[in-house]
A and B are shown apart, each in its own frame.
Chain A
């Protein structure tokens, strides 16, 4: 089967660093993506990893280990506006994007 697992909720304070993990099982793998969705808004693309290692984009970084079927999203210098749901998603062999359940991040003052 195909599945992704990520924590349902994470809480952190402003200025802190938080890591959201994602483990996956798919029939074929072509990359791990992360999306952010604010309450009432559209999911927006954050990052994509096709190869092992760390990709950095400003305050956000994403990591992939294909051998471990594992990735994470790292958010640094947290701001209140980072409070949102974060979804990991994988492309499987059919080119279909499979989403995780989402992690609700709450950033406190």
Chain B
């Protein structure tokens, strides 16, 4: 248990569906992240939030829409996805945004997404 939870753990959706991924951190951290992990590829940073403000949007297609209503919760809203979007989506949090040990990231278990 890292203190970061994600739901659902598995999700299968069609290309026309709309779904949301949820992440919650119980660590009192100020920064939260969404990553995409595809097979045999490095973790790809998608979005970064610091104190509920988005500070990074890594050229992610608009069919992925993040939301951070407070510092403990992070959502990733999905709509009209493509089969190539099938991957493990990981949420992480860190004490602060920046450099150094205090910014060690704690990951949730991920949501395994399959787009049919």
User: Contact residues of A with B, CB < 8 Å?
Assistant: 4, 30-31, 33, 35, 41-45, 48, 50, 87, 91, 94-102
**A41: which of B42, B48, B56, B109 is its contact (CB, 8 Å)?**
B109
If the complex has contacts A31-B99, A31-B100, A91-B99, are A102 and B42 also in contact, measured as CB distance less than 8 A? yes
Assess the B107–A42 pair: CB atoms within 8 A: yes
Assess the A97–B90 pair: CB atoms within 8 A: no
Known A43-B107, A45-B105, A97-B105; 18 more pairs at CB < 8 Å: A30-B99, A30-B100, A31-B99, A31-B100, A35-B107, A42-B2, A42-B109, A42-B110, A44-B107, A45-B106, A87-B42, A91-B100, A94-B56, A96-B48, A99-B42, A99-B43, A101-B40, A102-B42
If the complex has contacts A30-B100, A44-B2, A95-B98, are A101 and B42 also in contact, measured as CB distance less than 8 A? yes
